[in-house]
Chain A
Amino acid sequence: MRTVFLFPGQGSQHPRMLKDYSLTDPIVADIFSEVEQVLGEPVNKLDTKERLASTVYAQVCLLIAGVISARRLLSRGVKADYVAGHSVGAFAAAVISGVLSFADALKLVWDRGTLMEQAYPKGYGMLAVTGFQLPRLQQIVNQHNQHHSIVYLSNINAADQQVIAGEILSLNALAGILESAGIRKAQLLNLSVPSHCPLMQGVSTALKDRIAGLKLNESLIPYCSNYSGRVLTKAETIGDDLWKSIAATVKWFDATTLIYESGVRIFIEVSPSGVLSKIAASSFPEARILSLDSGSLDTISWLWHNSEAAYR
């Protein structure tokens, strides 16, 4: 009976998402002071509605919430056998795994968000689709790409849930084609950046240089790769995953299936939770899914200790 911590990516942020963290908790106080040192601003200025509309602040706030909430769980004795971060969530996962310091992760995420935002300011986006298995979707996308501006498979989240990135005009046309083929849902996401596809090659290369200049530490908790869908244990390959994945398909379904096959039966999604819990529940109906924001920290820790004991 193993446990994974899931770290959500962009789309999971919401205004004032950091407001409930109390400075009386030393975990929170440490992180908040590091944030202020690195960014030169207090945390309560970062998670406003206006700022979260920017990719940069959304990603930074997700990192902060992910690291704090995972550390709080660990401090209650909840143990993670694996960490898995979705897209930018991978940086929080790398921090909890021990590979990246929080301060380094913060600088990287700030730069990543900034570069992403600058790379494709307008006319690009992402389309979330639900209902088709991958081979069928891939076939339709390949045909579509022969007549339209090329779009890319950017996320494989579940057996029948994927995301496609590219020019909005082309994505809209694809949505029409998929709908007439009978897909259950094809919906443009509220994102202006075509993440996880070759359009991000420049961002990927820039991140590679920055990560090369960092000192990475030994990984203490195995880390699920976005890029390869494998479990990684070496600091260097985890570092590589962080820059490679921005320009490549996120293999979330593979990564989570792999750890399920390896014995994970408890999935805990850290804050701000919901999206990854839903995906996990649809992929692994027999697993125990704990969404951190669905209860108090005490409740979630208690549920974990209980489930863990039941299976031991």
Chain B
Amino acid sequence: MSRTSWTTKRDEKNRRIKNIAHLLKGAILKKENIIEALESLLQPGDRVVLEGDNQKQASFLSTALTQVNAAKVNKLHMVMSSISRPDHLDIFEKGIAQKIDFSFSGPQSLRVAQMIEDGKLEVGGIHTYLELYGRLFIDLIPNVALVAADKADRFGNLYTGPNTEETPTIIEATAFKDGIVIVQVNEIVDELPRIDIPASWVDVIVEADQPYQLEALFTRDPKMITELQILIGMMTIRGVYEKHKVQSLNHGIGFNTAAIELLLPTYGEKLGLKGKIATNWVLNPHPTLIPAIESGWVETVHCFGGEVGMEVYCAARPDVFFTGRDGSLRSNRAFAQVAGQYAVDMFVGSTLQMDRNANSSTVVSGRLAGFGGAPNMGHDPHGRRHSSAAWLDLITSDDPLAQGRKLVVQTFETFQNGNTPVFVEALDAIEVAKQAKLATAPIMIYGNDVTHVVTEEGVAYIYKADGEEERRQALSAIAGVTSIGMESSPGSINSLREKGIVAYPEDLGIRRTDAKRSLLAAKNVQDLVEWSGGLYNPPAKFKNW
């Protein structure tokens, strides 16, 4: 039997576009016609990608989507890397959308949990970023994409600028499978600074009433860094970066890693490590990296997205950052995520809870926050072939076929907020999985991927441990006065230190009393601005001097 048509998707797309032909001038749609257009372009049951990651949001389109008539547009299956805005859930309350596949929902984590419990939100899956991006090309192929760009020209070419992020990935999966690509832009101009997306990938462009929502998420004020975090940073630099000669890496977004960024040009310099460690990064443009860049530590940085206030600085440092011909930063979240998972030697992050087997989670009871970038980064993808010094240094056997390992490092203080232990008997994630009826507990980083754990007590080289029991003992030896830490005995600690499975500050030549804030290359945001020669322009809420 032969099919009657091989172009059903394309025909359907053409039919829908034709229905709004009277509203279009070329690809340009007037903003006052967006709701009418959406009601024609979207059909019940469509799979729709609404762009929004943890920074950049297609806010005009998400608001418009809440205003369509639910009698005409309903049962949508949303695919979104981040549930961030109230709008994103309002469309479910209003019956416009029914099902969702997503990665991160931190800013809406309670409402998501409640709506699942109340049967208002059907979850297809909670994915890591790379799984979600990958499935846009497999079984979550979009019918319609609603995305954001900075500028368009009258032909429909797009400039996405420093905050390119996921836009190319989403559009690629939609445009080349006969989906409809609808883009909100901040302005339509005669000439674009550069073309990030060609016009032939785009169907509808609408100039929004205000710029898309963009938040500064990766700015950490050095003022908040504690001396305990500095001590942990010093141990991590000596005991991990220096020991394994780590050159390519990704950092999490916490204060622990911000401390390390600010210790490189001071403490790291004193150790003579410049040029030997931490040269090639995949990282958002963290303002706390400015002193390391300015003192010549950093060769390259590829970015997931931009960071508010860092635009001019990045544009002025094209030797370090990826930039376009126009000079501005080019980010690409999907490529950065791939690089962070597969290409770098090390991930360093932090967590709120860790169990005896080094499984970690930032899940809080009664909330469903999904995942950020850490599950991809904090994961050893095995199967790698390139043989960097750090990768090879983690081989622990004489087997001629032995593989190296990616370094997955967790750094944290044994107690958060003074009295909540990070080391716990059982992760809250297990209970949350039961409450929300999830197929798997929302673990951020699996213990078997973790190679090092660093606390204010010391470094546990758990990749070296022989068997589960020794791994647990190593964790216990750096778990301080938490209940897990109280289990360790002086005998076992000595033996672990002799074997090099645990190192305390004195084993690394570090005096606890040396961990002073005076070691930070910048002590506050104003210092960062000075380091940048005035090129970094922090958002108002960080301008506290």
Which label, helix, strand, loop or mixed, suits the secondary structure of the A interface?
A: loop
Residues of B contacting A136 with CB < 8 Å?
420
Asked whether, in the complex, the Cβ of B111 is within 8 Å of the Cβ of A262, the reply is yes
Asked whether, in the complex, the Cβ of A254 is within 8 Å of the Cβ of B420, the reply is no
* A274 located at the interface, meaning its Cβ lies under 8 Å from any Cβ of chain B in the complex: no
* B419 located at the interface, meaning its Cβ lies under 8 Å from any Cβ of chain A in the complex: yes
* B366 located at the interface, meaning its Cβ lies under 8 Å from any Cβ of chain A in the complex: yes
Q: Which of A160, A182, A261 contacts B108 (CB 8 A)?
A: A261
Residues of B contacting A230 with CB < 8 Å?
114, 118
Distance, CA A106 to CA B281, complexed state (A): 65
Asked whether, in the complex, the Cβ of A135 is within 8 Å of the Cβ of B431, the reply is yes
* A205 located at the interface, meaning its Cβ lies under 8 Å from any Cβ of chain B in the complex: no
**Which chain B residue shows the least CB distance to A134?**
B365
For chain B residues 391-438, which have a beta carbon within 8 Å of chain A?
417-420, 428, 431
What's the least CB distance linking A227 to chain B, in Å? 13
Q: With A184-B419, A261-B86, A262-B86 as known contacts, state yes or no: A133 contacts B110, CB within 8 Å.
A: no
* A77 located at the interface, meaning its Cβ lies under 8 Å from any Cβ of chain B in the complex: no
**Which chain B residue shows the least CB distance to A156?**
B366
Asked whether, in the complex, the Cβ of B110 is within 8 Å of the Cβ of A257, the reply is yes
Distance, CA A136 to CA B423, complexed state (A): 13
* B107 located at the interface, meaning its Cβ lies under 8 Å from any Cβ of chain A in the complex: yes
Q: Residue among B108, B365, B418, B419 with the most chain A CB within 10 A?
A: B419
Distance, CA A64 to CA B349, complexed state (A): 52
For chain A residues 150-188, which have a beta carbon within 8 Å of chain B?
159-160, 182-184
A residues neighboring B (CB under 8 Å):
131-136, 159-160, 182-184, 229-230, 254, 257-258, 261-263
Residues of B contacting A160 with CB < 8 Å?
417, 420
Query: What would be 15 A-B contacts, judged by CB atoms less than 8 Å apart?
Result: A131-B419, A132-B419, A133-B364, A133-B365, A134-B365, A135-B365, A135-B428, A182-B419, A184-B419, A229-B110, A258-B111, A261-B86, A262-B86, A262-B111, A263-B86
Asked whether, in the complex, the Cβ of A132 is within 8 Å of the Cβ of B114, the reply is no
**Which chain A residue shows the least CB distance to B420?**
A133
Residues of B contacting A263 with CB < 8 Å?
86
Distance, CA A131 to CA B118, complexed state (A): 30
Q: With A135-B365, A262-B86 as known contacts, state yes or no: A183 contacts B419, CB within 8 Å.
A: yes
Residues of B contacting A131 with CB < 8 Å?
419
Further contacts, 12 of them, CB under 8 A, given A254-B114, A261-B110: A131-B419, A135-B431, A136-B420, A160-B420, A184-B419, A230-B114, A230-B118, A258-B111, A261-B107, A261-B108, A261-B109, A262-B86
Asked whether, in the complex, the Cβ of B114 is within 8 Å of the Cβ of A258, the reply is yes
What's the least CB distance linking B54 to chain A, in Å? 15
Distance, CA A135 to CA B425, complexed state (A): 12
Q: Flag B105-138 by CB within 8 Å of A: 1 or 0 each.
A: 0011111001000100000000000000000000
What's the least CB distance linking B66 to chain A, in Å? 12
Q: Which of B86, B111, B364, B420 contacts A132 (CB 8 A)?
A: B420
What band does the interface of chain B fall in when counting residues whose beta carbon is under 8 Å from A?
A: 10 to 19
Residues of A contacting B118 with CB < 8 Å?
230
What's the least CB distance linking B412 to chain A, in Å? 16
What's the least CB distance linking B472 to chain A, in Å? 22
Q: Residue among B118, B366, B417, B418 with the most chain A CB within 10 A?
A: B366
Asked whether, in the complex, the Cβ of A254 is within 8 Å of the Cβ of B110, the reply is yes
What's the least CB distance linking A113 to chain B, in Å? 31
Q: Residue among A160, A230, A262 with the most chain B CB within 10 A?
A: A262
Distance, CA A159 to CA B420, complexed state (A): 12
For chain B residues 343-395, which have a beta carbon within 8 Å of chain A?
364-366
What's the least CB distance linking B362 to chain A, in Å? 13
Q: With A133-B365, A135-B365, A254-B366 as known contacts, state yes or no: A261 contacts B428, CB within 8 Å.
A: no
For chain B residues 492-507, which have a beta carbon within 8 Å of chain A?
none
What's the least CB distance linking B441 to chain A, in Å? 14
**Which chain B residue shows the least CB distance to A131?**
B419
**Which chain B residue shows the least CB distance to A2?**
B86
What's the least CB distance linking B65 to chain A, in Å? 16
Residues of B contacting A159 with CB < 8 Å?
364
What's the least CB distance linking B476 to chain A, in Å? 19
Distance, CA A173 to CA B431, complexed state (A): 28
Closest 9 CB pairs of A and B: A263-B86, A257-B110, A261-B111, A262-B86, A135-B365, A261-B108, A182-B419, A135-B428, A258-B110
What's the least CB distance linking B540 to chain A, in Å? 10
Q: Flag B195-221 by CB within 8 Å of A: 1 or 0 each.
A: 000000000000000000000000000
What's the least CB distance linking A4 to chain B, in Å? 14
For chain B residues 252-275, which have a beta carbon within 8 Å of chain A?
none
**Which chain A residue shows the least CB distance to B432?**
A135
Distance, CA A100 to CA B86, complexed state (A): 29
**Which chain B residue shows the least CB distance to A182?**
B419
Distance, CA A131 to CA B364, complexed state (A): 15
Distance, CA A261 to CA B93, complexed state (A): 14
Residues of A contacting B419 with CB < 8 Å?
131-132, 182-184
Residues of A contacting B366 with CB < 8 Å?
134, 254
Residues of A contacting B364 with CB < 8 Å?
133, 159
For chain B residues 81-114, which have a beta carbon within 8 Å of chain A?
86, 107-111, 114
Distance, CA A136 to CA B428, complexed state (A): 10
Distance, CA A184 to CA B110, complexed state (A): 26
Residues of B contacting A229 with CB < 8 Å?
110, 114
Distance, CA A263 to CA B59, complexed state (A): 14
For chain B residues 297-340, which have a beta carbon within 8 Å of chain A?
none
Distance, CA A263 to CA B111, complexed state (A): 12
Residues of B contacting A257 with CB < 8 Å?
110
Residues of B contacting A132 with CB < 8 Å?
419-420
Distance, CA A184 to CA B417, complexed state (A): 11
Distance, CA A251 to CA B420, complexed state (A): 22
What's the least CB distance linking A101 to chain B, in Å? 29
What's the least CB distance linking A59 to chain B, in Å? 29
**Which chain B residue shows the least CB distance to A286?**
B541
Distance, CA A132 to CA B109, complexed state (A): 20
Distance, CA A135 to CA B361, complexed state (A): 15
Residues of B contacting A183 with CB < 8 Å?
419
Residues of B contacting A262 with CB < 8 Å?
86, 111
Distance, CA A182 to CA B420, complexed state (A): 9
What's the least CB distance linking A161 to chain B, in Å? 13
Distance, CA A262 to CA B111, complexed state (A): 8
**Which chain A residue shows the least CB distance to B541?**
A286
Residues of A contacting B108 with CB < 8 Å?
261
Distance, CA A271 to CA B364, complexed state (A): 33
Distance, CA A248 to CA B419, complexed state (A): 28
What's the least CB distance linking B82 to chain A, in Å? 13
Distance, CA A136 to CA B431, complexed state (A): 12
Residues of A contacting B111 with CB < 8 Å?
258, 261-262
Residues of A contacting B417 with CB < 8 Å?
160
